[in-house]
Amino acid sequence: MRRTASHGRRRAIGLVARIGLLLPVLGPGLVSGFADNDAGGITTYSIAGAQFGYDLLWVILASQVVLFFTQEVGARIGLATGQGLSGLVRERFGIRWAAFMAMVMLIANLGTTIAEFAGIGAALSLVGVPIPISAVLAAVAMVLLVSQGTFGRVQYVFVAAGLGVSIAYVVSALLAKPDWGTAATRLVIPALGTSPAYWLAVVGTVGTTITPWGQAFIQSYVVDKGLDRSNLGAERIDVGLGALLTNLIAGFIVVACAATLFASGQHDLTTAGQAAKALGPLAGTSATILFAGGLLAASLLGLGVVPLTSAYTVCEAFGWESGVQWRWRQAPAFYGLLALFVGVGALFVLIPGLPLITLIYLTAVLNGILLPFILVFVMLLARDERLMGDLRSGWRLSVIGWSVTAVLVVMSLVLVWVGLFSSSA
Amino acid sequence: MFFLSQLVGRPVRDRDGDVFGKLRDLIVALGERYPPVTGLVVRVSNGRDIFLPWTDVEEIDTGGARLRTTRIDIATFQQRPHEIRLRIDLLDKQIVDVEGRKIVRVNDIQVAPVEEQLRLVAVDVGLAGILRRLGLSGPGQRLARALHLEPEKYIEWEDVDPVESSVSSLKLRVPHEALGTLHPADVAHIVEQLAPRDRAGILAALDDERAADVLEELAADDQVDILEALTPEKAADILEEMGPDEAADLVADLSQERQEELLGLMEPDEASDVRELLAYDEETAGGLMTTDFITVSSDQTAQQVIEMLRQLRPDADHVYYLYVTDAEGQLVGTITLRGLIVAEPTTHVREFTRPEPISVAVDAHADEAARAIARYNLLALPVVDEEGRIQGVITVDDAFERALGEGWRKRLPDLFEPAEEA
């Protein structure tokens, strides 16, 4: 008779103790990729498809490649150093750069949190719930999600609902009889545009797929799971699968929207009701309910991940206690940040007449603009021999990493440029 | 008294007052209560970092450093084993705050002239240090006061234990003496706050007995990770110091290969105890019991038993009940420590034995054993085989863990938690 290895649940601390329990059979890359399809994801891909049809599919493909490389390098740094991103920045570049990174993270993640609140507001407005009520509901939901244990129990519901709506988009895309020839062409041959709206969509699509919080999340996840160098091969596969899954879903959302909204002349998406029509081929008149459910689940999933990740990241940079195992008085900064996220999120969506869908879209763009700042740190850390040892980026990975970072910077600059140019014209 | 952040970057002048470089770092030699600064690292004009021994320094303050000499020996810095560089090795790194029993980050470092030597006095872990480094001391301090925050927080160097992280070069330079003064549960609490990678380092630095006590306080999964990360020799030494039941639970979770390796390295006595316990199903009384218990015979006198205990020096957990067995090893009764102490020295054990002891069979269900302990208010419950011979005992804490799940002590109300620092 052999005894079994089960000794109750792990008492691990840190970020993953809360978030990482998410489908333990999945790896960090898959989890991180899945959480990317939050309110910002669904909204941004919908707008991209409605506004430009199949034209932005190349951005989805490019994002997948970039997502793979950025997640791979994040995971590799976690494997090599056993430390989180902002802690490493603090140790390696000093407190000023750590404070700078914490600020960037805070701004980007406040934006994303507002987007999750707006997502909940938009989803509930489809079934007639007024914004003030949904803002309160979202705030209560976040407090519950963040308090001990709740997220671990209900995350599967969100994941299942998110997966459900993803499949709905796939089916809807297939039923809508899209122009596959054009779709395939646009996937590999970029159809470049020059309008500010086009570049807004490009930066938004990249920004909602490859996020500042996702970069901190993958690294912390790998660390809290206690993975080490020997897991490098498996991690690369996991990260690759995560990127593939995320972008496959993103691609189908774009195709579904292109074949329905874009084809029928509905180019400007400003309400959730309009976006829901993309699910029409599958659900007919029930499309609104299906979309509302999916957006709600995706927003809640994001709400359970993003504020926590960013509170951890900021506290890690300054060496403050973080984690829900502490009490209020022991970790005032951590809880203060979470309170800030709830407060700002809820109050922001209360602004009367706020275009929620546009707001979500713009936070994705904000993420896209701030992303390169985070990536510069990541690439510098990955080249550091003392930290990384034999897991240091070789010249190939370095060239890829820096090129990606440079392209993202250029992309943001192009957006600013065409924005200025066209407004003065 | 000043802070490292006020010294780094300041000019270094020779005896004639000519600037020849900027201060980059201070070297201190660990070991003393307030470690002395033994040298400076100076960046000279060509971008190279040179080392200057403390004996060359005439004076140093926030305005910079002045040397006694004009002739500078361009020696490249070689770090000696007990020396650390304050900026590179300590600033912005994690340390253990031994008083507060937690991990904190070093925001700044306080040095002061003590006994004609500049010495490392304390580390700044407060908001004030962060603000000073960010150049926001003035407005930041006012804001903090307005919010009734206490921005200043320093930890005396003697209450600091640096963490050997995979990132810093502190490896093997840290004696972890300060950690030795803490309760094992507090050390375990600190270990849990570290990244999984850095946990084994602290255990490796403790002596075997303390390491075993700390390990017993950790969650099962964390125990396994740490035991896998330690050298096999150290791991085996720590297992020997653990209770056989704890050790068996832990060994059972290791890979087959690692099990054999560690059991092979352990002392034969301890290894066989563990092997014996490994044979029992976890869901039975046998799986819950420990083989650490003490038997006496009816013919011994109280005096003889006390003598025996003095020689055995058993752990506190196993001394409250002693088990009376006959020649065949069958359990015939129990005596309590109280009974033993209040008895006259010449009284025979049989005269204060409680007969017909409550016991469970080795193959009884573990829950049944836990229930018996609860019902009869026992500190420990003997476990017997088919012939009634005692095989082990189940202690009340293991029964609690069985009933309430791992980590039950953590979930007790605030009343039972360690007092917070003021």
Tell me what pLDDT residue A86 has.
Answer: 93
Tell me what pLDDT residue A304 has.
Answer: 83
Contact B279 A96 (CB under 8 A): no
Q: Which of A3, A99, A226 faces B287 most closely, judged by CB atoms? A: A3
Contact A7 B281 (CB under 8 A): no
Residue A12's pLDDT band (boundaries 50, 70, 90)?
very low
Please, are residues B124 and A336 in contact by the beta-carbon 8 Å criterion?
Answer: no
pLDDT at A370 over 90: yes
Radius of gyration of chain A (CA): 21
Contact A83 B167 (CB under 8 A): yes
Tell me which of A1, A3, A325 to substitute to probe the interface with B (most B C-beta atoms closer than 10 Å): A3
Q: Which two tokens stand for residue B88?
A: 């590179």
Chain A residues within an 8 Å CB radius of B92: 90-91, 94-95, 98
One-letter amino acid for residue B408 of the chain: W
Percentage of chain A modeled with pLDDT above 90: 38
Tell me what pLDDT residue B77 has.
Answer: 66
Chain A residues within an 8 Å CB radius of B125: 319
Residue A1's pLDDT band (boundaries 50, 70, 90)?
very low
Tell me what pLDDT residue B79 has.
Answer: 73
The Cα of B17 is separated from the nearest Cα of chain A by a number of Å equal to: 31
CA-based nearest residue to B227, from B243, B195, B203, B208: B203
Chain B residues within an 8 Å CB radius of A96: 133-134
Q: Which of B91, B125, B225 faces A226 most closely, judged by CB atoms? A: B225
Chain B residues within an 8 Å CB radius of A103: none
* Strands B94-97 and B154-156, sheet pairing: unpaired
Gap between the Cα atoms of B198 and B165, Å rounded: 6
Residue A15's pLDDT band (boundaries 50, 70, 90)?
low
Q: In the predicted model, what is the mean pLDDT of residues A294-309? A: 87
Residue position matching structure tokens 């399809």: A37
Give mean pLDDT in consecutive 10-residue pieces for chain B, a chain of 422 residues.
89 86 90 87 85 86 84 70 85 83 87 86 89 83 76 84 60 60 83 77 82 87 84 89 85 84 87 84 84 88 91 77 89 90 90 88 88 87 89 86 66 45 35
Chain A touched by B228 (CB under 8 Å) = no
The Cα of A225 is separated from the nearest Cα of chain B by a number of Å equal to: 8
Strand partners for B334:
B323, B354
Tell me which of B167, B216, B415 to substitute to probe the interface with A (most A C-beta atoms closer than 10 Å): B167
* Strands B108-114 and B2-3, sheet pairing: antiparallel
Mean model confidence pLDDT for chain A: 85
Tell me what pLDDT residue B414 has.
Answer: 43
Tell me what pLDDT residue A73 has.
Answer: 94
Tell me what pLDDT residue B405 has.
Answer: 67
> Could you report the per-residue pLDDT of A145-173, keeping only the tens digit for each?
877 666 666 667 777 777 888 888 888 88
Q: Which of residues 270-329 of B touch A (CB under 8 A)?
A: 278-282, 287
Tell me which of A7, A97, A224, A316 to substitute to probe the interface with B (most B C-beta atoms closer than 10 Å): A7
CA-based nearest residue to A292, from A171, A167, A161: A161
Gap between the Cα atoms of A2 and A403, Å rounded: 54
With H, G, I as helix, E, B as strand and everything else as coil, classify residue A131. helix
Tell me what pLDDT residue B417 has.
Answer: 44
Gap between the Cα atoms of B7 and A198, Å rounded: 52
pLDDT at A13 over 70: no
With H, G, I as helix, E, B as strand and everything else as coil, classify residue A144. helix
Search chain A and give the residue with CA nearest B96.
A319
Q: Which two tokens stand for residue A366?
A: 């904000």
Chain A touched by B92 (CB under 8 Å) = yes
Chain B residues within an 8 Å CB radius of A230: none
Strand partners for B323:
B295, B334
Gap between the Cα atoms of B71 and A385, Å rounded: 36
Tell me what pLDDT residue A424 has.
Answer: 43
Sequence-separated (6 or more) residues with CB below 8 Å from residue A62: A206
Q: Which of A1, A90, A92 faces B105 most closely, judged by CB atoms? A: A90
Strand partners for B382:
B393
Phi, psi at B78, each rounded to 5°: -115, 120
Tell me what pLDDT residue B420 has.
Answer: 40
Gap between the Cα atoms of A125 and B277, Å rounded: 62
Please, are residues A349 and A114 in contact by the beta-carbon 8 Å criterion?
Answer: yes
Chain A touched by B412 (CB under 8 Å) = no
Q: What is the 3-state secondary structure (H, E, C) of B2-22?
A: EEHHHHCCCEEECCCCCEEEE
Sequence-separated (6 or more) residues with CB below 8 Å from residue B30: B82, B83, B84, B173, B174, B175
Q: Which two tokens stand for residue A150?
A: 């709740």
Helix (H) / strand (E) element for B219: namely none
pLDDT at A7 over 80: no
Angle subtended at Cα B391 by Cα B387 and Cα B396, rounded to the nearest 5 degrees: 125
Give the C-alpha distances (Å, rounded to integers) separating A261 from A19, A165, A182, A191, A361: 35, 17, 16, 19, 17
Buried b (16+ CB within 10 A) or exposed e, B170-191: beebbebebbeebebebbbbbb
Percentage of chain B modeled with pLDDT above 70: 90
Tell me what pLDDT residue B407 has.
Answer: 58
Residue A93's pLDDT band (boundaries 50, 70, 90)?
very high
Residue A219, CB half-sphere, CA atoms under 13 Å: how many?
A: 32
Tell me what pLDDT residue A403 has.
Answer: 92
Give residue ranges of A with CB < 8 Å to any B CB: 1-5, 7-13, 80-84, 87-88, 90-92, 94-96, 98-99, 223-224, 226, 228, 318-319, 321, 327, 329-330, 386-387
Strand partners for B32:
B30
Between the two ends of chain B, the Cα-to-Cα distance in Å is 25
> Could you report the per-residue pLDDT of A123-137, keeping only the tens digit for each?
999 988 998 999 999
Gap between the Cα atoms of A49 and A65, Å rounded: 20
Gap between the Cα atoms of B337 and B61, Å rounded: 64
Entry pTM: 0.78
The answer to whether the Cα torsion of A73, A75, A80, A83 is positive or negative is: positive
Chain A residues within an 8 Å CB radius of B405: 8-9
Give the C-alpha distances (Å, rounded to integers) separating B90 from A252, A372, B4, B17, B342: 51, 30, 11, 31, 57
Most confident of A31-35, A204-208, A227-231, B222-226: A204-208
Residue A425's pLDDT band (boundaries 50, 70, 90)?
very low
A100 or B183, greater pLDDT: A100
Helices (H), A384-425: 385-388, 395-424
DSSP letter assigned to residue A6: -
The Cα of B396 is separated from the nearest Cα of chain A by a number of Å equal to: 18
* Strands B19-29 and B83-85, sheet pairing: antiparallel
Search chain B and give the residue with CA nearest A97.
B134
- Angle between helical axes of A85-93 and A57-81 (0-180°, round to 10): 70
Tell me what pLDDT residue B362 has.
Answer: 87
A224 or A178, greater pLDDT: A178
Q: Which of A99, A226, A330 faces B134 most closely, judged by CB atoms? A: A99
Please, are residues A142 and A311 in contact by the beta-carbon 8 Å criterion?
Answer: no
Gap between the Cα atoms of B73 and A367, Å rounded: 52
Contact A95 B130 (CB under 8 A): yes
Tell me which of B255, B282, B420 to substitute to probe the interface with A (most A C-beta atoms closer than 10 Å): B282
In terms of Cβ atoms closer than 10 Å to its own Cβ (0-12, 13-18, 19+), residue B239 is buried
Search chain A and give the residue with CA nearest B94.
A319
